[in-house]
């Protein structure tokens, strides 16, 4: 296996958890992206970066632009179900065509605990509910809307270690 670094940026810990699982499975080095220097990453053949999804932003993608010569995979962690979510707009917004693109992108499902949210994130969740759900009639709600409402104000954890299998298989096949 080539020399691999797993980096992450997380607010509440679910992205960190996925990064730890990936680093452990690949026997890779693990770094919190905000504490990295270019010199630390210079000797890695591949960077696997995990960024939490918050209001259509992927944490840490600006950091990746600082290392334009590195090959990298990207994984995102968010509350939405990756099997039913279209990430194309989010990726276009966070990975401009003028910047180096990831080799591949993976999406994992995280969780939320409203008791631990910052005031800013609580406000964002309230605004999201008000703008995208509150105006809908019950029969207009999507499965994603219903899942959002079911977890609203509480705690839910969708993290699943098995979901990293496709990423691990991709790395083992292409970077062994």
Domain ranges of the chain: 4-110+158-174, 113-157
Task: Out of 3.40.605.10, 3.40.50.360, 3.30.497.10, 3.40.640.10, select the CATH number for domain 4-110+158-174.
Answer: 3.40.50.360
Mean pLDDT, rounded, of the chain: 88
Task: For residue 36, name the pLDDT band (cuts at 50, 70, 90).
Answer: confident
pTM (2 decimals)? 0.85
Give the single-character DSSP code of 117: -
For the chain, what percent of residues have pLDDT higher than 70? 95
Q: 124 or 97: which carries more pLDDT confidence?
A: 124
Task: For residue 98, name the pLDDT band (cuts at 50, 70, 90).
Answer: low
Average pLDDT over residues 129-136: 90
pLDDT of residue 34: 83
Average pLDDT over residues 143-160: 85
């Amino acid at each position: 296996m080539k020399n691999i670094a797993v980096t992450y940026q997380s607010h509440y810990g679910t992205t960190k958890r996925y990064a730890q699982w990936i680093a452990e499975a690949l026997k890779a080095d693990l770094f919190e992206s905000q504490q990295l220097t270019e010199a630390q990453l210079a000797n890695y053949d591949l960077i696997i970066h995990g960024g939490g999804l918050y209001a259509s932003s992927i944490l840490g993608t600006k950091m990746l632009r600082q290392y334009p010569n590195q090959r990298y995979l990207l994984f995102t962690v968010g509350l939405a179900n990756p099997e039913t979510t279209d990430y194309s707009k989010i990726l276009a917004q966070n990975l401009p065509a003028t910047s180096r693109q990831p080799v591949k992108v993976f999406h994992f499902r995280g969780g939320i605990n409203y008791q631990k949210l910052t005031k800013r994130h609580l406000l964002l969740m309230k605004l999201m509910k008000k703008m995208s759900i509150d105006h809908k009639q019950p029969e207009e709600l999507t499965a994603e809307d219903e899942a959002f409402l079911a977890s609203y104000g509480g705690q839910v954890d969708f993290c699943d270690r098995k979901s990293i299998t496709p990423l691990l298989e991709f790395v083992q096949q292409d970077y062994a």
